[in-house]
């Protein structure tokens, strides 16, 4: 037990209990796969979902890290395969007195749908429905889709993580992925539009969440896009491809893959919540360019944070976490709970402003101007580029 580890995810702090479920729509690669976070009815006996649900994801994480599968994947499985998140699995959806706003969430490079459960659950506890997509552009560490005719047994086809091919420039490879990701986000929004209109949308996973319970409970006039790293720039582009996104929240966005020709098309308000030790001067210049086009676009930096501070990985504890931290730099000097609090409070204040919500999230408005403990406005200090 010398390498004992734990996942110390906080319970969501909002007034709603939070349920989560996996949703797969369609039986082709062009379908959608996401983890849904939503306000749910209290259920004392509800199961807690696994944090990393399948062995294939451990193998994918090893591939992303460039390690050998034969020893690294079993080690990760032994350390993390039993970790569960403090949410209610497939619990009954809780209809609200008013419709819930919707957030589509896009994961970072080498991540997948379950690695941002702390952020997504906190937003759901505040009265949002959040769909965390698992992208199929080979930027996820691993993902899959199911094939087979209705009534037949499902057959899984796995999509591995893809590196930049030899001889191909990284920008062109990542830019192609970026556009696929933004298109998937737009299709995610359309899916919820279809559900809201009463269209039957089967969830092909066995014994899975029934999407029809969402009909009449989501406010499709209050829709935002959010993401981390590669997902942050995906959120920016998605506002161009799908005008129904009212605004975007970009967590430590990796701006590199977005072509300059698209910048004049970005017109929706953006909130960049950056970490202290990731951004480069070039990336900051790109954010400033977008800020110059829209006075409602904001950029703040959380001091004492690193690139992984907004993912669940930062909440790993124990001696194994110390080993992982040496490889990924999972934790900065600021307490992870404080980073989560600043991230979600700033996002909520921004969403209230641009989704016209009748909540008390405006109490955190000063964060949007970089006013508060451990937050500054405009530019990260760029002490290192990790």
**Percent of the chain with pLDDT strictly greater than 90:** 74
384 has a pLDDT exceeding 50:
no
Mean pLDDT computed over 168-190:
98
In the prediction, which pLDDT does 138 show?
A: 96
Give the residue extent of every domain in the chain: 12-49+84-377
**Catalytic status, residue 307:** yes
Q: Rounded to an integer, what distance in angstroms lies between the CA atom of residue 106 and that of residue 33?
A: 12
Catalytic residue (choose from 16, 307, 308, 354): 307
Q: Rounded to an integer, what distance in angstroms lies between the CA atom of residue 357 and that of residue 365?
A: 13
Closest-CA residue to 5 (of 321, 326, 331): 321
Catalytic residue (choose from 22, 137, 252, 312): 252
Q: Rounded to an integer, what distance in angstroms lies between the CA atom of residue 310 and that of residue 333?
A: 13
Q: Rounded to an integer, what distance in angstroms lies between the CA atom of residue 89 and that of residue 86?
A: 9
Out of 77-91, 107-121, 181-195, 237-251, which region has the weakest mean confidence (pLDDT)?
A: 77-91
Q: Rounded to an integer, what distance in angstroms lies between the CA atom of residue 317 and that of residue 37?
A: 24
Q: Rounded to an integer, what distance in angstroms lies between the CA atom of residue 54 and that of residue 92?
A: 24
Q: Rounded to an integer, what distance in angstroms lies between the CA atom of residue 38 and that of residue 30?
A: 25
Q: How far, in whole angstroms, is CA 129 from its chain's centroid?
A: 13
Mean pLDDT computed over 285-313:
92
Mean pLDDT computed over 255-268:
96
CA distances, 203 to each of 21, 105, 207 (Å)? 11, 19, 9
Contacts of 95 (CB under 8 A, 6+ apart): 216, 217
- The 10s digit of each residue's pLDDT in 340-363 is 999 999 999 999 999 999 999 999
**Catalytic status, residue 228:** no
242 has a pLDDT exceeding 80:
yes
**Catalytic status, residue 356:** no
Mean pLDDT computed over 300-317:
91
In the prediction, which pLDDT does 78 show?
A: 74
In b/e form, how buried is each residue of 323-347, taking b as 16+ CB within 10 angstroms? ebbeebbbbbebebeebbbbbbbbb
Catalytic residue (choose from 117, 125, 217, 229): 229
- Beta-strand pair 316-318/5-7: antiparallel
In the prediction, which pLDDT does 385 show?
A: 34
Average of per-residue pLDDT values in the chain:
90
| Most confidently modeled range among 20-29, 38-47, 63-72, 327-336 | 20-29
Q: Rounded to an integer, what distance in angstroms lies between the CA atom of residue 239 and that of residue 186?
A: 9
In the prediction, which pLDDT does 382 show?
A: 42
Please give the CATH number for the structural domain made up of 12-49+84-377. 3.40.50.1820
Closest-CA residue to 372 (of 347, 344, 346, 354): 346
Q: Rounded to an integer, what distance in angstroms lies between the CA atom of residue 206 and that of residue 3?
A: 36
69 has a pLDDT exceeding 60:
yes
């Amino acid at each position: 037990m010398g390498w004992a580890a734990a996942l110390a995810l906080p319970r969501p702090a909002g007034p709603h209990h939070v349920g989560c479920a996996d949703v797969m729509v369609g039986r082709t690669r062009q379908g959608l796969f996401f983890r849904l976070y939503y306000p749910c009815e209290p259920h004392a006996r509800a199961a807690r979902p696994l944090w990393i649900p399948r062995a294939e994801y451990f193998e994918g994480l090893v591939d992303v890290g460039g390690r050998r599968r034969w020893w690294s994947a079993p080690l990760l499985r032994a350390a993390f395969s039993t970790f569960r998140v403090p949410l209610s699995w497939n619990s009954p959806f809780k209809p609200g007195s008013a419709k819930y706003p919707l957030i589509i969430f896009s994961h970072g490079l080498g991540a997948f749908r379950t690695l941002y459960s702390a952020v997504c659950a906190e937003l759901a506890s505040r009265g949002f429905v959040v769909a965390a997509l698992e992208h199929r552009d080979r930027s996820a560490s691993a993902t899959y889709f199911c094939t087979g005719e209705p009534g037949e047994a499902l057959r899984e086809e796995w999509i591995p993580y893809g590196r930049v091919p030899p001889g191909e420039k990284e920008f062109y490879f990542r830019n192609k992925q970026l556009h696929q990701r933004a298109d998937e986000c737009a299709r995610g929004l359309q899916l919820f539009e279809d559900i809201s209109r009463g269209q039957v949308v089967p969830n092909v996973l066995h014994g899975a969440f029934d999407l029809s319970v969402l009909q009449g409970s989501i406010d499709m006039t209050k829709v935002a896009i959010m993401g981390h790293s590669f997902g942050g720039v995906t959120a920016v582009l998605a506002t161009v491809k799908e005008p129904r996104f009212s605004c975007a929240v970009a967590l430590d966005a990796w701006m590199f893959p977005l072509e300059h020709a698209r910048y004049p098309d970005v017109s929706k308000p953006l909130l960049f919540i950056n970490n202290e030790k990731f951004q480069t001067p070039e990336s900051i210049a790109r954010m400033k360019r977008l800020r110059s086009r829209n006075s409602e676009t904001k950029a703040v930096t959380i001091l004492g944070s690193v690139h992984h501070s907004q993912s669940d990985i930062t909440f790993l504890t124990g001696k194994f976490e110390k080993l992982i931290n040496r490889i990924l730099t999972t934790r900065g000097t600021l307490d992870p709970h404080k980073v989560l609090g600043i991230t979600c409070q700033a996002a909520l204040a921004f969403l209230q402003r641009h989704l016209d919500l009748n909540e008390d999230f405006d109490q955190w408005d000063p964060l949007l101007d970089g006013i508060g403990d451990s937050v500054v406005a405009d530019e990260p200090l760029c002490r290192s580029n990790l």
